[in-house]
Amino acid sequence: MKNILLFFTVLFATGMQAQTKVWFDTDLMIGMPDKTPREVDDGITLIMALKQPQIEIVGISSITYVDYSYDVIHKIMDWHYEGPAIPVYKGSPEANDLGVENDATRALYAALKKEKLTILALGPMTNIATLIQNHPDIISQIDKISICAARTPGLPFNPGNGKLNVFDYNYELDTKSMDVILNSSIPLVFAGYEPSSYTHIGNIDFASLDLNEEADKWLFDIVQPWMKQNEQFFGVHGFIPFDCSTLGVITHPEYFTYHKNIPIKVTYKKNDALEVQPDTPYKNFLEVSYKFKTKKKVDYAIQALQGFEEKILETLSVKN
């Protein structure tokens, strides 16, 4: 009898556990028509996020390619989400207008007025930095921001065979906005290239998709050219789902190792991605190290552990 009572007590407590209220800010460009395929990880992260009982997404905002992403976000939600309506807002169209209000910043401000939120920042920080710069009164309402950016010193961003270094896109596209975030008192967790590099998705990982389902076939068809492009540049037929780690440290924190309370700062040094940035011999790097003497300290995810990739894959089919 005691065991039965204990079982139902645990079950009840688990069911009553409060969800984390999340605002989802994304530079989603999955499937965007262009000369070359666009990255797919924001779209996959949104699919994953919509199916996590640990979180409640109260709003979604876009950063860059806002007109295109607005429609695709709604398409993904129509396929993969059956809960209460989630509003979607267009944010900064080019991530170069820090301080300029938009539909996304106004909506996020209104949402934070109602309740405290965790913010998932999957793209450049323009929308969020604009909110903080223009409305510092709202800072205390932000529980934390999870950001896809930053690195440890000397770590190149070289997916696959390591022959081609890429750059810290979300940071470098709008460094001024990141400065605003770093100068705030908001708790920050960074989960970008380094932890994500332990997770790789290839052809065999899409075996669970049912190509008779419109949503699954759409995803499969879009992912194929992206994987081929990764093979061309990085020597590996597949891709790293970067933004899934940014979500994962909120929904599945036990699947990551961390540098806790580690100093963060901007350093200026020789560019390690000259092949893709030939006109930038030196640049700013966003780095974390316990050797730094800076006051701002953050949590930094180092590695995604075995099992996290499966947590991503189990959400991709519209049937799951």
Q: Pick from 54, 108, 286, 297: which is nearest to 188 by CA?
A: 297
- The H or E element containing residue 195 is helix 193-196
Q: Which domains does the chain have, with CATH numbers?
A: 20-313 (3.90.245.10)
Provide the pLDDT for residue 7.
Answer: 41
Provide the pLDDT for residue 203.
Answer: 87
pTM of the model: 0.93
Q: Which residues contact 275 (CB under 8 A, 6 or more apart)?
A: 164, 165
- Return left, alpha or beta for 228; rule: phi > 0 is left, psi -120 to 50 is alpha, else beta: alpha
Neighbours of 107 (CB within 10 A): 22
Provide the pLDDT for residue 12.
Answer: 42
Provide the pLDDT for residue 177.
Answer: 98
- Per-residue pLDDT tens listing for the chain (320 residues): 444 444 444 444 444 468 999 999 999 999 998 888 999 999 999 999 999 999 999 999 999 999 999 999 999 999 999 999 999 999 999 999 999 999 999 999 999 999 999 999 999 999 999 999 999 999 999 999 999 999 999 999 999 888 899 999 999 999 999 999 999 999 999 999 999 999 999 989 998 899 999 999 999 999 999 999 999 999 989 999 999 999 999 999 999 999 999 999 999 999 999 999 999 999 999 999 999 999 999 999 999 999 999 999 999 999 98
**Cα–Cα dist 32/1, whole Å:** 58
